Chains A and B, each alone.
Chain A
Amino acid sequence: MAIIESHGLAREFRMRKQVVRAVDGLDFQVEAGEIVGFLGPNGAGKTTTLRMLTTLLRPTSGTARIAGLDLLADPDKVRRQIGLVAQTGGTDMNCLVGEEIMLQGGLYGLDKARCRERTAFLLDRLDLGGLAGRRVGTLSGGQRRRLDIAIGVMHEPRVLFLDEPSAGLDPQSRQNLWEHLRWLRQETGTTVFLTTHYLDEADALCDRILVIDHGRIVAEDTPEGLKQQISGDVVTVVLEGDPEIARPLLAGLPGVRDVTALGATTLRLTTDHSDQTVVDLITTLRDAGISVAGLELTRPSLEDVFLTLTGSSLRDGSG
């Protein structure tokens, strides 16, 4: 069942006299229990989309349904189904950790006993045990992020939205965060929808990636699928002999998209199925009497994918 269905979701902003279309008609679905990454460079429209999906910003046109409820028609009912971890967090430095979690439970209508029970459970589960009485301002970056998650899932939402959850975290805290998000999905079946401009994060954590650029979805697939779909694998082969004889032979192999010559003895093949291609290549060249001096196989990174799709590097201006 699709838990998020977006239909032509769009948002314009007026900047002086210009109308900027920050989000330009998004159509996508997220299935219940998926971890989906919304990947794009800064300014691509990720946060704007997230704010629309969480009822904080009204779309200029289009709408979305969350757990079957329309964003525009039933914002209050949608709010009960979702949790949000904003990029800036949303906790007050001067509040106590326990207070902040309890308050959120209260605002969702949980009674005191249930609030206490959930708070104790989440503190323990998110490795925040013993910190209930501490001021938020004294927590480490990783602890604060886990507190944000505790607040976001206090009312057991069906979908948790996270905006750049690992921004500003050290590598160890990021790994730890990913583990907690995986736990959340596994234990509670919560659907996780997160924005990120970290390719490794999308790769390691997400079942599926939506690539967004200039307010539009430019690609949508599993991390593996994206890598295959866009770039293919690259096989570089060094030959003893004339590559111009080998070139048409290799170009005809199944799955090979193109063959280019690099220098006097080297050919570069782009292929959909590198494993198969390597086997075919060796057989074909041996049958043709051409010996192979070297062979290298490179799988594309999501960075390559992103470059191909958007023409810009994700690291541009990332903060």
Chain B
Amino acid sequence: MSLVRETRLIFRRYLMLSLREPGWVVAGLSQPIVFLILYGPLMTRMISSPQTSSAQAWQIYVPGVLVQLGLFGAAFVGFTIIAEWRAGIFDRLRVTPASRLALLLGRVLRDVLVLTVQAVILVLVAIPFGLRTSIAGVLVAMAIVAVMASSLSALSYTLGLALKSEAALGPMLNSLTMPLILLSGVLLPMSFAPAWLDLMSRFTPFRYVVDAIRDAFLGRFGSGQMLQGAAVTVGFAVLSMALAVHTFRRQSA
């Protein structure tokens, strides 16, 4: 099938570009570790209480870092497409009969792979700090992170192509991701929040993503939070992807 073939070609191109940028690879991988080492001990001590053990505190904290990683990693890929658009690369690919969906998916899958590798390293590093969970928990959490990353990366490319200016995209992404991170309960669970803040956070997708990953680490695979989170993550991805394909297809883009 040509869609699969074309997607693979594009995926390989962008993966090679990532791998050829060793500084970028090291920085990308070290960032989550820095979060764990320099911020984890502080956060988990704050969460820990007579009712919450240290292991549970890590189960609450690590999902937050995973989502934060996604927001800061995948959400900023839009910058690369602006540079490519300016260099004529985007047009050069679009002038071929290759599927527009393949041109998008190839990039998105690269971003998903990069983010998943970072997420796995983060979880592995968190284990010696005291994170306790099951293999199944990690796998389910990774699946959620991967689908979330695909939405963020697709949306970021869409925004990049719509704005076509790094100077406009930067502030735009910052002003979108910051409230989303705060409202998602990434840093502290929203169960600590006053009712109005808790309610507000329910209107943002990442609240559900974080809750679902926390349940995955706790092994509660059939919980209402988990099902809700999975539904929101998948729904958000479908919407983001549809919007992005529309932008890639649009003739005036």
Contact = CB atoms under 8 A, between A and B. Distances in A.
Q: Do A and B come from one complex?
A: yes
Interface of A: 51, 54-58, 76-77, 79-80, 82-84, 86-92, 94-95, 99, 103-104, 106-109, 151
Please name the 6 residue pairs, one residue from A and one from B, whose CB atoms are nearest each other, closest first: A90-B92, A88-B88, A58-B251, A90-B88, A107-B96, A86-B88
A107 B91 contact: no
Nearest to A90: B92
19 contacts: A57-B252, A79-B96, A83-B95, A89-B87, A89-B88, A90-B89, A91-B87, A91-B92, A92-B84, A92-B87, A99-B13, A99-B16, A104-B92, A104-B96, A106-B5, A106-B9, A107-B6, A108-B97, A109-B97
A108 B20 CA distance: 25
A103 B97 contact: no
Contact of A90 (B6, B91, B98): B91
Contacts of B95: 54-56, 79, 82-84
Nearest to A51: B91
Contacts of B220: none
Select the residue from A82, A87, A95 with max chain B CB neighbours within 10 A: A95
B17 interface: yes
Interface in B5-24: 5-6, 9, 13, 16-17, 20-21
Contacts of B88: 86-90
A84 B6 CA distance: 19
Interface string B62-94: 000000000000000000000010111101111
A55 B16 CA distance: 29
A304 B57 CA distance: 80
B2 interface: yes
B87 A90 contact: yes
B9 A103 contact: yes
A6 B95 CA distance: 19
Given A55-B95, A79-B95, A92 B6 contact: no
A76 B252 contact: no
B92 A84 contact: yes
Nearest to B83: A92
Contact of B87 (A57, A88, A106, A107): A88
A151 to B, nearest CB: 7
A103 B98 CA distance: 11
A58 B252 CA distance: 6
Contacts of B20: 94
Contacts of B21: 94
A107 B93 CA distance: 8
Contact of B91 (A58, A76, A84, A95): A84
A94 B17 contact: yes
Interface string B90-116: 011111111000000000000000000
A103 B251 contact: no
Contacts of A82: 95
A130 to B, nearest CB: 20
A137 to B, nearest CB: 11
Select the residue from B2, B84, B86, B88 with max chain A CB neighbours within 10 A: B88
B17 A76 contact: no
Nearest to B21: A94
Contacts of B9: 103, 106-107
Nearest to B103: A107
Contacts of A109: 2, 97
Contacts of B86: 88
A83 B91 CA distance: 11
Contacts of B6: 106-107
Nearest to A93: B87
A79 B251 CA distance: 13
Contacts of A51: 91
A91 B89 contact: yes
Nearest to B97: A79
A55 B93 CA distance: 12
B16 to A, nearest CB: 7
Nearest to B12: A103
A57 B20 CA distance: 33
B200 to A, nearest CB: 36
Nearest to A154: B96
Contact of B94 (A56, A92, A106, A151): A56
A275 B133 CA distance: 95
Contacts of B93: 90, 107
Contacts of B13: 95, 99, 103
Given A87-B88, A88-B87, A94-B17, A55 B251 contact: yes
A87 B97 CA distance: 20
Given A55-B95, A107-B93, 6 more contacts: A76-B97, A90-B92, A90-B93, A91-B89, A92-B89, A95-B17
Contacts of B251: 55-58
Contacts of B87: 88-92
A191 to B, nearest CB: 16
A92 B13 CA distance: 10
A80 B96 CA distance: 7
Contacts of A87: 88
Nearest to B94: A56
